[in-house]
Amino acid sequence: MLNLYDTQSGAMKPVQAEDGKQLRFYCCGPTVYAAAHIGNFRTFVVQDVFRRVVELGGLRTKHVRNITDVDDKTIRNSCAQGVPLQEYTAVWTDKFHADCKALNCLPPHVEPGAVAHIPEQIELVQMLMDKGHAYQSDDGSVYFRISSYADYGKLAHLDRQSLKLGETANTRADTDEYEKDSVADFVLWKARRPEDGPNFWPSPWGEGRPGWHLECSAMSHKYLGDTFDLHSGGVDLVFPHHENEIAQSRCACGGHSARHWFHVTHLLVDGAKMSKSLGNMYTLDQLQAMGYTPAALRYLLAAGYYRRPLNFTLAGMKDATAALNKLGRFDKELAKRAGDKEPTYRDLLKKRPEPGPFAAAWASLEDDLNTPEALGHVFSVIKTIKHADLSPEEAAATRRSFRMITEALGLQLPDPDADVEAPEEIRALADERWAARSRKDWAAADALRAKLAELGWAMKDGKDGYQLTKA
């Protein structure tokens, strides 16, 4: 059984389905105003590993992940470009789905969007109004009164004494994101403002739109009920987003909201927080343009322990590519010996293999999703296995056990002997080098060769042209 750290209790807890059969969980999804960056994908990939370990461990799942398609950023960008909000967000939703597919993330069972659930959100605000947990202020917006909920702050471990929650009536937050030191009554329904353009809906409190925190309470309630098994997001969501979700859900609907809270620590780039101003925000497309595969990014993201920051570097992408090739080579040798068909994730779910020589790796996955430790075990074991000594049956059994670990991590094993098509950007550099060589500009040609090598490509010169191979 999987043991996983729970943010709320600050302790390890077994991941359990309340009904013993199906784990019902909610993940906060993307805000679709641009392509998701590799930090976002750290969280989505870790959540996917979580789901795979739960399913391979023998439980079915119901996975709900929302699409935030109305908020300050989506409205701002769609208005600036003069495109209707839904048209604008549809493009980025499609892009998100394509990237998830490339990164081998299982699609959630339900993927509700906020705009399609306005009535449910209004109903939730009405429940909070009826029970005295919400009020309309003179700015026309409706706020949640945090002093009305005695457990406010428990998830983020806020100190209620120093917050003086009873005295916050005059402090209100009408933006979606704020820090712990500005704890305040938060907005449920935002009154219509001129800068919202055509993006407003009627409500009992006038025209406006939902606050960001509201959608996850309304949609988890609709698709998973008042109490469900687990809720997840990146660490930045602990406060205020999840704290506010708990307050809304418990005050409006009763129940416990989620019984287990699972948060993924952030991805850093070259040791620093990702930000537009530092210019260190990568997307999957950018990495592919440099010649890296989505499978290598998946490996890198899945290989970090989710409770520690993961530092992304391009050198790390190279190491991930090499490590993945090693696993691909091991699998191919086993396949040759076993002569069996390739075991897919679905096959393994139907007939769970014995972990066999990979028992220690599986145990690491079940111990707080310790993926680096699991991979450490895998690499130690594969060094000791001599393919030639295995009978076809033994090779097939070993392969199934091995694939149980790689499928739990969602790794797409490459065929190490397959010809790889160089991406356009690599071809452009190679063409440039070929031109430099033809005009005998050796310095430029050497510099370009070095640049290609840095990106993991080697160029073999022929009489009339060149050949590109993965270094």
Kindly list the residues in this chain that would bind Zn ion in the complex (CB under 5 A).
28, 216
43 binds, among ligand AMP, Zn ion, none (CB under 5 to 8 A by kind): ligand AMP
Q: Residue 43 Cβ, how far from ligand AMP at the closest point, in Å?
A: 4
CB neighbourhood size of 235 (10 A): 15
Torsion of CA 15, 153, 236, 212, to 10 degrees: 100
Of 233 and 456, which CB lies nearer to ligand AMP in the complex structure?
A: 233
Distance (Å, rounded) from C-alpha 398 to C-alpha 340? Answer: 12
* Helices 85-102 and 72-81: angle between axes, nearest 10 degrees: 110
266 binds, among ligand AMP, Zn ion, none (CB under 5 to 8 A by kind): ligand AMP
Q: Residue 71 Cβ, how far from ligand AMP at the closest point, in Å?
A: 9
Half-sphere exposure of 86 (CA within 13 A, CB side): 7
Distance (Å, rounded) from C-alpha 143 to C-alpha 128? Answer: 10
263 binds, among ligand AMP, Zn ion, none (CB under 5 to 8 A by kind): none
216 binds, among ligand AMP, Zn ion, none (CB under 5 to 8 A by kind): Zn ion
371 binds, among Zn ion, ligand AMP, none (CB under 5 to 8 A by kind): none
**The token pair that represents 32 in the structure block:** 């679709």
Question: What letter would DSSP give residue 226?
Answer: S
Of 39 and 291, which CB lies nearer to ligand AMP in the complex structure?
A: 39
- Those residues whose C-beta lies under 8 Å from the C-beta of residue 397, and which sit 6 or more positions away, are 353, 354, 356
Q: Residue 34 Cβ, how far from ligand AMP at the closest point, in Å?
A: 9
The string of DSSP letters for 11-68 reads EEEE---TTSSEEEEEE---B-SS---HHHHHHHHHHHHHHHHHHHTT-EEEEEE-BB
Q: Residue 69 Cβ, how far from Zn ion at the closest point, in Å?
A: 13
Of 95 and 231, which CB lies nearer to Zn ion in the complex structure?
A: 231
Of 173 and 191, which CB lies nearer to ligand AMP in the complex structure?
A: 173
Q: Residue 28 Cβ, how far from ligand AMP at the closest point, in Å?
A: 5
**The token pair that represents 277 in the structure block:** 């101003």
31 binds, among Zn ion, ligand AMP, none (CB under 5 to 8 A by kind): ligand AMP
**The token pair that represents 114 in the structure block:** 């906020």
Residue carrying structure tokens 């009305």: 148
Cβ pair 69, 89 in contact under 8 A: yes
Q: Residue 239 Cβ, how far from ligand AMP at the closest point, in Å?
A: 12
Of 39 and 414, which CB lies nearer to ligand AMP in the complex structure?
A: 39
Of 28 and 459, which CB lies nearer to Zn ion in the complex structure?
A: 28
Q: For residue 311, which phi and psi values (nearest 5 degrees)?
A: -100, 115
40 binds, among ligand AMP, Zn ion, none (CB under 5 to 8 A by kind): ligand AMP
Query: Which amino acid does the sequence have at 280?
Result: N
Q: Taking Cα atoms as reference points, which of 54, 126, 9, 65 lies closest to residue 365?
A: 54
Of 148 and 257, which CB lies nearer to ligand AMP in the complex structure?
A: 257
Q: Residue 264 Cβ, how far from ligand AMP at the closest point, in Å?
A: 6
Helix-strand-coil split of the chain, %, nearest 5 = 50, 15, 35
Q: Residue 257 Cβ, how far from ligand AMP at the closest point, in Å?
A: 17
Q: Which residues bind ligand AMP (CB under 6 A)?
A: 28, 30-31, 39-40, 42-43, 68, 233-234, 236-237, 264, 266-267, 274
Terminal-residue alpha carbon distance, the chain: 41
Q: Residue 274 Cβ, how far from ligand AMP at the closest point, in Å?
A: 5
Of 247 and 269, which CB lies nearer to ligand AMP in the complex structure?
A: 269
Of 217 and 370, which CB lies nearer to Zn ion in the complex structure?
A: 217
Q: Taking Cα atoms as reference points, which of 287, 282, 291 lies closest to residue 424?
A: 291
414 binds, among ligand AMP, Zn ion, none (CB under 5 to 8 A by kind): none
184 binds, among ligand AMP, Zn ion, none (CB under 5 to 8 A by kind): none
Q: Taking Cα atoms as reference points, which of 401, 414, 230 lies closest to residue 322?
A: 414
